[in-house]
Structure 1
Amino acid sequence: MILIADSGSSKTDWRLIGSDASIQQVKTIGFNPYYQDSASIADELKLHLLPKINEPITEIYYYGTGITNLEKSQVLIDAFNSVFRECPKAYVHNDMLGAARALAGHHTGIVCILGTGSNSCFYDGEQIAHQIPPLGFWLGDEGSGGYLGKQLVLSYLHKELPTELREKFEKRYGAKDRLEILDNAYHKPFPNRYFASFSKFLFDNRQHPFIYRLVFEAFTAFFEKYLLKYPAIHQCKIHFTGSVAFYYSDILRQVANSKACTVGIIAETPIAGLTLYHQQTN
């Protein structure tokens, strides 16, 4: 059985390809080696993944956020080794390569992730050939769910939201004070998840001119700070994956058109493409 995973900060999509070519889907929480150690990841796998597996695992292909160097990838490898002791092959890659393989396959293209966080790369059909490095939640993540939520909360705190939106916001979340938001931003874990949780409000109200402009400007910032710096930006297609890209695809396409860029595939998650990629490779 082959185990394939696409893991973001919020959730992990798993596909189990059986020896009879059957495909099983499983979901667990997201993993990030910057915030979790091997033991805690292994505990989650034993609790929510292992009970769904009914034959030996022969290969593992894991693509996830936070896999920035060998040290971070080893955190996941150690977790897999403790849970699937008989598995001879466990490959851990960053989520950017996973998105590239899922969306572009063996073709050249620019590939982007717009989910809880944001990222991008130029993919040459085999590997990531060039990347404008992302700066994370506090210094970057333009266009992501975390960034969108942060912009919404800032507008709320600065009393910039139109009255009707402010009333809707407080009806949905209750009145928010500065100290509560600062506590979630600086003291509690996963501030990106906290702020990304507000992006659903933006989606539900995206027809409002204020919200539309906020989202349009967030995607524009993503293009200007990252995508437009790729030399091949106007010569190849730009593919996107992630919940933000998928659910705001209409606005995303409008921003791309305004920059004379060609959008290719927009997929909510890369897991289906990754499953096909590894079925064809193995």
Structure 2
Amino acid sequence: MKLLVDSGSTKADWIAIDDSGKVLFTTQTLGLNPEVLDKDQIIARLDDRFDILHNKSSVTHLYFYGAGCGTDRMKNFLAQVFEEYFAKATISVQEDTFAAVYATTPKGEKAIVSILGTGSNCSYFDGNILHQKVQSLGYIAMDDCSGNQFGRQLIRGYYFNKMPSDLAVLFEKEYNLDADVIKHNLYKEANPNAYLATFAKFLIQHKDHEFCHKIIKSAMQDFVDNYITQFDNCREVPVHFIGSIAFYLKDELQFVLEQNNLKIGNVLRRPIDGLIQYHALNK
């Protein structure tokens, strides 16, 4: 049994397949970002799903693609946790960009592949090797155009009295904006980046409001300037996207890319289905 996992900071999609690619079961856990979780928290999230707990001794291969796995230290830490938990399995841990590449990019194609979800990332795939110009410093310092950045901007706009009153009324109805509640989630709970990203839904729902539209357009331009145009050939290859932010704001994304003479490619909400085909073909 092979386990394929696509994990963001918010959630992780799991699919078990046999050697022919037949799906045995699917499930979902909370996200398994090693930058914000310790070993006990990761194991607790695995144990919380019966299909994973019940079948862990039958797993022969685990292919994990996750947010927070961009450094060797984080990859090795997570691999050690999985090696203990799935004792009979061969473990592969790679950053989530690889899942995005395998899901969006036809074999041998050169492309820029970006992730816009709870966090953000961008790489160039030359048809064989993945190249990155920017090493992520995490959600506090980076993650342009991500769900967590949008959440931070909405909260700041509300608390600095920059959010228009009509929008603020709707924002108050949608979320508990008590300062103590917000600070508790940001500084006392796990996954503060995922908490911030929950506010992005509001931005998407009200994307045509001038206040929200300006935030979206500015963040997308920042992503183009800080990530995509780092690659010299960015205007010669398609730019593919994975993630809920890219998926639900595809029209806005396409507009900004076209303004920058960039070609938008495939835009998928999640890569997990493409991983099934990839790993069935690459035994």
Task: Mark the CA change 1:184 to 1:47 in structure 2 (over 3 Å): closer, same or farther.
Answer: closer
> How many residue pairs were aligned?
280
Alignment partner for residue 153 of structure 1, among 152, 155, 167?
155
Q: Could you report, residue by residue, the CA deviation over 1:96-125 in whole angstroms, capped at 9, with x for unpaired residues? A: 122122211432110001011111011112
* Aligned-residue offset at 1:36: 2.2
Mean CA deviation greater in 244-253 or 188-197: 188-197
Mean CA deviation greater in 100-109 or 114-123: 100-109
* Aligned-residue offset at 1:21: 3.5
TM-score norm. by structure 1 comes to 0.92
* Aligned-residue offset at 1:9: 0.4
Structure 1 residue matching 2:134: 3-state secondary structure: coil
Mean CA deviation greater in 190-199 or 108-117: 190-199
Structure 1 residue matching 2:29: 3-state secondary structure: strand
Which blocks of at least 5 consecutive residues in structure 2 are unaligned? none
* Aligned-residue offset at 1:211: 1.1
Q: Give the aligned partner of residue 95 of structure 2.
A: 94
- Cα distance in 1 between the residues matched to 2:189 and 2:178: 16
CA contact (8 A) 1:38 1:78 kept: no
Q: Give the aligned partner of residue 13 of structure 2.
A: 13
Matched, 1:61 2:63: yes
The residue type paired with residue 129 of structure 1 is: H
Write out aligned runs for 1:232-243 (5 A): 232-243=233-244
Q: Give the aligned partner of residue 226 of structure 2.
A: 225
Task: Mark the CA change 1:210 to 1:31 in structure 2 (over 3 Å): closer, same or farther.
Answer: same
CA contact (8 A) 1:97 1:127 kept: no
Q: Give the aligned partner of residue 267 of structure 1.
A: 268
Write out aligned runs for 1:178-193 (5 A): 180-193=181-194
Write out aligned runs for 1:1-282 (5 A): 1-19=1-19, 21-23=21-23, 24-48=25-49, 49-51=51-53, 53=55, 56-87=58-89, 89-106=90-107, 107-177=109-179, 180-282=181-283
The residue type paired with residue 102 of structure 2 is: R
- Cα distance in 2 between the residues matched to 1:215 and 1:67: 27
* Aligned-residue offset at 1:129: 2.4
CA contact (8 A) 1:110 1:121 kept: yes
Task: Mark the CA change 1:281 to 1:19 in structure 2 (over 3 Å): closer, same or farther.
Answer: closer
Structure 2 residue matching 1:255: 3-state secondary structure: helix
Structure 2 residue matching 1:136: 3-state secondary structure: coil
* Aligned-residue offset at 1:132: 2.4
CA contact (8 A) 1:37 1:75 kept: no
* Aligned-residue offset at 1:167: 0.9
Which blocks of at least 5 consecutive residues in structure 1 are unaligned? none
The residue type paired with residue 11 of structure 2 is: K
TM-score norm. by structure 2 comes to 0.91
